[in-house]
Amino acid sequence: MVQKLISKSQDLLNRKSSSILSAAGIIGASYLLSALLGLVRNHLLVARFFSQAANLDVYFAAFVVPDTVFQLLVVGAVSAAFIPIYQEYFAKSKEEANHLANAALTVVGLFFFIFSLLIVIFARPIAGLLAHYPPQELDLMANLIRIMSIGQMLFTVSSFLTGVLQSHRRFLIPAIAPLLYNVGTIAGIYFLSSRFGIYSAAIGVVFGALLHMLIQLPAAGALGYWPKIIFQPKHQGVKTMVRLMPPRALALGLDQIERWVAVNLTSFLAAGSLSIFNFARQLYVLPISLFGVSLSQASFPALAEEAILPDKTKFKETLSKSILQIFFFALPASVLVLVLRIPLVRIAFGAKSFPWDATLLTGRSLAYLSLAIAPQAVTNTLTRALYAMKNTRTSLIIGFITMVVFVSLAYLFDGTIERDVAGITLAMSIGNLLDFFLSYRAVSSRVGALGISKRIIKMLIVSVFTGIALWVPMHLLDQYVFDTTRTIPLIGLTLTVSIVGFSVYLFFCWLFKIEELADVLAIIKKIGNWRKILGESDEVIESTPDSI
């Protein structure tokens, strides 16, 4: 009986996904669980360390340094180059493909090790350049950077394991790995914080990275791949991979600038500012990933096939429908985040352990970010539409313009309009809105007007009614029904108001005859039509560890 159960469990974990659609479902569910665990992690960080907010800021700042190098060297290599090249070699021979994997891992791992060694050696000067903390806190930051660099080395091996597994269409184990990463981090904080203080969070990162790697080793081994050192930098596949890395690494580098600017600016502000920035950003990113990323990944294979056709009618139809469906989900989510920002912050990070002034500041920062949730969710699809048309240069140019605007406004607002962390989130929101408008304009100029403006305006009007339907009962229930000084009534208030708001949203969608309502109800029927397209696609579903 036990052997049979073990056998069935192994079969489930190693099962090959029949289509990218089924894989997307696995990744989407795992992302939601990983995001919830990320909230648990940050809730625990608040409970254990926000009383010493300066140390918590230092921890978040320290994480940025090794993670940036990891994103540029490793994520850029695996997501942009390794998987398609591995699949090309695997079509010829499994042995050649595994040889390539180890040669690529060795070369990328060596580069990453050299950069990590330099970071470990010069951690203190790097910390001083990045942040403006007192000397004692900069020393702490340097030590945390050194510890967490070990975790990123483990992630290097783990990322290639993920690449191999996804190349074989095994998505369940790579989807579970980020969950274990968060579990490891949570365990480190929970069990070691009383002894090691803020160092426990860094130790937890290393432990989580180890779990992230170990869970994937047996699955990769079952496919015949085990990591080995094979130093062949002149291997043709490795050379091709290295040649394909720079565009992806540059795009990731632009994204990382946002985090470096936040660290630099918040180091001038009150203790806890960087932590508040990260907490607000975490709640902001959640609906974008759930709706924007998942739906853009689902639409990309169809866009890629239709982009090569001389007639762009079908391409425009697919793109327009994807954009409208994302707006349909993301607009009410953004309104909910805007109106319920204070209850959400209190539930996520603790009604008791998170000070009221910090709660208000996090809520105000989140309010600015909520304005860009829906547009930023759509930007994922617009970017992929440009990729489908074999246009990567435009996205890089737009990313550069957006980055310049964000950095300029962040430093301007920090000293004028908002003299706290909310100024940074306001600048980020404006930058993301600009990103959306430029991307939308770039796509429209290539394929013609999409003709969806009126339908988007109708959704915006419905969203306004939804906001009113959320705001009115929230204040009435808060005043007369729920004692929101306690956690359970606070959750009850949030759930009740959310149900009322979304009911109103669906009613007005029906009243205004918004077509996406019918489309959403018919999604199950459409799965059969999408399965063949998605099953034949080489689209890579990214399942990177949950960043801090």
Q: What does the alpha-carbon distance between residue 444 and residue 177 come to, in Å, rounded to a whole number?
A: 39
Q: Which amino acid is at 123?
A: A
Q: What are phi and psi of 131, to 5 degrees?
A: -125, 165
Q: Which amino acid is at 536?
A: E
The b-or-e profile of 455-476 (16+ CB within 10 A means b, else e) is bbebbeebbebbbebbbebbee
pLDDT above 70 covers a percentage of the chain that reads 86
Pick from 33-37, 337-341, 414-418, 514-518: least confident: 414-418
Q: What does the alpha-carbon distance between residue 407 and residue 257 come to, in Å, rounded to a whole number?
A: 8
Q: What does the alpha-carbon distance between residue 106 and residue 103 come to, in Å, rounded to a whole number?
A: 5
Residue 23 contacts residue 167 (beta carbons within 8 Å): no
- Six token digits for residue 2: 């036990």
Q: Which amino acid is at 409?
A: L
For tokens 């013609």, name the residue. Answer: 448
3-state SS class at 350: coil
User: Mind listing the pLDDT tens digit for each residue in 174-231?
Assistant: 888 989 999 999 999 999 999 999 999 999 999 999 999 999 999 999 999 999 999 9
Q: What does the alpha-carbon distance between residue 420 and residue 413 come to, in Å, rounded to a whole number?
A: 9
User: Mind listing the pLDDT tens digit for each residue in 95-104?
Assistant: 999 999 999 9
For tokens 């409970």, name the residue. Answer: 47
3-state SS class at 351: coil
User: Mind listing the pLDDT tens digit for each residue in 491-536?
Assistant: 888 899 889 888 888 888 888 888 777 766 665 454 444 444 444 4
Instruction: Please give the radius of gyration of the chain, using alpha carbons only, rounded to the nearest integer.
Output: 23
User: Using the 8-state DSSP alphabet, how is residue 72 labeled?
Assistant: I
Pick from 480-484, 485-489, 523-527: least confident: 523-527
Q: What does the alpha-carbon distance between residue 280 and residue 399 come to, in Å, rounded to a whole number?
A: 22
The b-or-e profile of 511-535 (16+ CB within 10 A means b, else e) is eeebebbeeeeeeeeeeeebeebbb
Q: What does the alpha-carbon distance between residue 117 and residue 50 come to, in Å, rounded to a whole number?
A: 31
> What would the DSSP string read from start to end of 88-102?
HHHTT-HHHHHHHHH
User: Mind listing the pLDDT tens digit for each residue in 279-301?
Assistant: 999 999 988 887 777 677 666 66
pTM of structure: 0.85
User: Mind listing the pLDDT tens digit for each residue in 22-70?
Assistant: 444 555 676 778 888 988 999 999 999 998 888 999 999 999 999 998 8
Residue 213 contacts residue 74 (beta carbons within 8 Å): no
Q: What does the alpha-carbon distance between residue 335 and residue 404 come to, in Å, rounded to a whole number?
A: 28
Q: What does the alpha-carbon distance between residue 278 and residue 286 come to, in Å, rounded to a whole number?
A: 12
Q: What are phi and psi of 388, to 5 degrees?
A: -60, -30
Kindly report the length of the chain: 548
